[in-house]
A and B are shown apart, each in its own frame.
Chain A
Amino acid sequence: MFFALAFPVIFILLFGAIFSGAGSGSVAVYVQNLDANSSVSAAFIQSLNSTGVLNVKVVDISGNLSNYLLAHSLSNGIVIPQGFASDYEKGKSVNVTVYSDPADSTSGIVLGAVSGVINGFNLKRVEASPVVGLDSATVNAHSTKYIDFLVPGLIGFSILTSPMFSMVNVTAEYKKFKRFKQLSLTPLTKGEWLVSKVIWYTILSFAAFVLMVFFGTAVFGANLKLSLIIIPFLIAGPTLFISLGMLVGIVTKSIESAGVIGNIITFPMMFLSGTFFPISTMPHFLQLVARFLPLYYVIAGLNDVMVFSNISTAYYNLAVTVAIAAVIFVLAARLFKWKEK
Chain B
Amino acid sequence: MASAIIVDGLEKSYGTKKAVNCISFTVNQGEIFSLLGPNGAGKTTTVEILEGLRERDAGRIEVLGMDPWRQGYELHKRIGVIPQGFSFFDKQKPVEAIQYYAELFGLKVNAQEILEKVILEEAADTVFEDLSGGQRQKLGLALALVNDPEVLFLDEPTTGLDPQARRNLWNVIQGLKEGGRTVLLTTHYLEEAELLADRVAIMNHGEIITSGTPEEIVRKYGSGKKIVIKGGEGLYSAIIKSGISGAFRNDDGEVSVPVRDKRDIISLVTSIESAGVTWGDIRTEEDSLEDVFVKLVGGTMDEGELKSESVSEGKSP
A residues in contact (CB < 8 Å) with B: 177-179, 181-189, 339-341
B85 surroundings in chain A (CB, below 8 A): 178
Selected from A187, A189, A339, A341, the residue in CB contact (under 8 A) with B105 is A187
CA distance A339 to B101 in the complex (A): 19
Task: Indicate if the CB atoms of A341 and B54 lie closer than 8 Å.
Answer: yes
Task: Indicate if the CB atoms of A339 and B52 lie closer than 8 Å.
Answer: yes
B101 surroundings in chain A (CB, below 8 A): 186
Please name the 6 residue pairs, one residue from A and one from B, whose CB atoms are nearest each other, closest first.
A186-B104, A340-B54, A177-B87, A185-B81, A188-B104, A341-B55
Instruction: Determine whether B53 belongs to the interface, using a CB cutoff of 8 Å to chain A.
Output: yes
Main secondary structure of the interface of B (DSSP, over half): loop
Task: Indicate if the CB atoms of A182 and B48 lie closer than 8 Å.
Answer: no
Report the nearest A residue to B74, measured CB to CB.
Answer: A187
A179 surroundings in chain B (CB, below 8 A): 87
Instruction: Determine whether B280 belongs to the interface, using a CB cutoff of 8 Å to chain A.
Output: no
Binary interface encoding of chain B residues 73-90 relative to chain A, with 1 for a CB under 8 A from any of its CBs, else 0:
100110101010111000
Task: Indicate if the CB atoms of B83 and A185 lie closer than 8 Å.
Answer: yes
Task: Indicate if the CB atoms of B76 and A187 lie closer than 8 Å.
Answer: yes
Q: Please report the number of residue pairs spanning A and B whose Cβ atoms sit closer than 8 angstroms.
A: 42
CA distance A340 to B55 in the complex (A): 7
Q: Can you show 20 pairs from A to B with CB atoms below 8 A apart?
A: A177-B87, A178-B83, A178-B85, A181-B53, A181-B83, A182-B83, A182-B86, A183-B104, A185-B76, A185-B81, A185-B83, A186-B76, A186-B101, A186-B104, A187-B105, A189-B73, A339-B53, A339-B54, A341-B54, A341-B55
Instruction: Determine whether B11 belongs to the interface, using a CB cutoff of 8 Å to chain A.
Output: no
Selected from B72, B81, B87, the residue in CB contact (under 8 A) with A339 is B72
User: Would you give the shortest CB distance from B70 to chain A, in whole angstroms?
Assistant: 12
CA distance A188 to B87 in the complex (A): 18
A339 surroundings in chain B (CB, below 8 A): 52-55, 72
A184 surroundings in chain B (CB, below 8 A): 53, 72, 76
Report the nearest B residue to A338, measured CB to CB.
Answer: B53
A181 surroundings in chain B (CB, below 8 A): 53, 83
Instruction: Determine whether B31 belongs to the interface, using a CB cutoff of 8 Å to chain A.
Output: no
Instruction: Determine whether B156 belongs to the interface, using a CB cutoff of 8 Å to chain A.
Output: no
Please name 7 further chain A to chain B contacts, defined as beta carbons within 8 Å, in addition to the given A177-B87, A186-B101, A186-B105, sorted by A numbering.
Answer: A178-B85, A181-B53, A184-B53, A185-B76, A187-B76, A340-B54, A341-B54
CA distance A211 to B129 in the complex (A): 35
B87 surroundings in chain A (CB, below 8 A): 177-179
CA distance A140 to B29 in the complex (A): 77
B207 surroundings in chain A (CB, below 8 A): none
Report the interface size for chain B: residues with CB under 8 A from the other chain: 20
Instruction: Determine whether B254 belongs to the interface, using a CB cutoff of 8 Å to chain A.
Output: no
User: Would you give the shortest CB distance from A270 to chain B, in whole angstroms?
Assistant: 28
Report the nearest B residue to A186, measured CB to CB.
Answer: B104
Instruction: Determine whether B314 belongs to the interface, using a CB cutoff of 8 Å to chain A.
Output: no
CA distance A177 to B87 in the complex (A): 7
A177 surroundings in chain B (CB, below 8 A): 87
CA distance A339 to B83 in the complex (A): 14
User: Would you give the shortest CB distance from A250 to chain B, in whole angstroms?
Assistant: 18
B163 surroundings in chain A (CB, below 8 A): none
User: Would you give the shortest CB distance from A175 to chain B, in whole angstroms?
Assistant: 12
Task: Indicate if the CB atoms of A187 and B53 lie closer than 8 Å.
Answer: no
B105 surroundings in chain A (CB, below 8 A): 186-187
Instruction: Determine whether B243 belongs to the interface, using a CB cutoff of 8 Å to chain A.
Output: no
User: Would you give the shortest CB distance from A93 to chain B, in whole angstroms?
Assistant: 77
Selected from A186, A187, A189, A340, the residue in CB contact (under 8 A) with B48 is A340
A341 surroundings in chain B (CB, below 8 A): 54-55
Task: Indicate if the CB atoms of B106 and A187 lie closer than 8 Å.
Answer: yes
B76 surroundings in chain A (CB, below 8 A): 184-187
User: Would you give the shortest CB distance from A234 to chain B, in whole angstroms?
Assistant: 27
User: Would you give the shortest CB distance from A302 to chain B, in whole angstroms?
Assistant: 34
Binary interface encoding of chain B residues 257-282 relative to chain A, with 1 for a CB under 8 A from any of its CBs, else 0:
00000000000000000000000000
Interface of chain B residues 96 through 115 with chain A (CB within 8 A): 101, 104-106
User: Would you give the shortest CB distance from A35 to chain B, in whole angstroms?
Assistant: 73
A183 surroundings in chain B (CB, below 8 A): 104
Task: Indicate if the CB atoms of A187 and B73 lie closer than 8 Å.
Answer: yes
Known: A178-B87, A339-B72. A185 touches B51 (CB 8 A): yes
User: Would you give the shortest CB distance from B313 to chain A, in whole angstroms?
Assistant: 28
B81 surroundings in chain A (CB, below 8 A): 185
Task: Indicate if the CB atoms of A340 and B73 lie closer than 8 Å.
Answer: no
B79 surroundings in chain A (CB, below 8 A): 185
User: Would you give the shortest CB distance from B222 to chain A, in whole angstroms?
Assistant: 38
User: Would you give the shortest CB distance from A255 to chain B, in whole angstroms?
Assistant: 13
CA distance A179 to B106 in the complex (A): 19
Interface of chain B residues 55 through 79 with chain A (CB within 8 A): 55, 72-73, 76-77, 79
Task: Indicate if the CB atoms of B73 and A185 lie closer than 8 Å.
Answer: no
User: Would you give the shortest CB distance from B54 to chain A, in whole angstroms?
Assistant: 5
Report the nearest A residue to B69, measured CB to CB.
Answer: A339
Report the nearest B residue to A340, measured CB to CB.
Answer: B54
A182 surroundings in chain B (CB, below 8 A): 83, 86
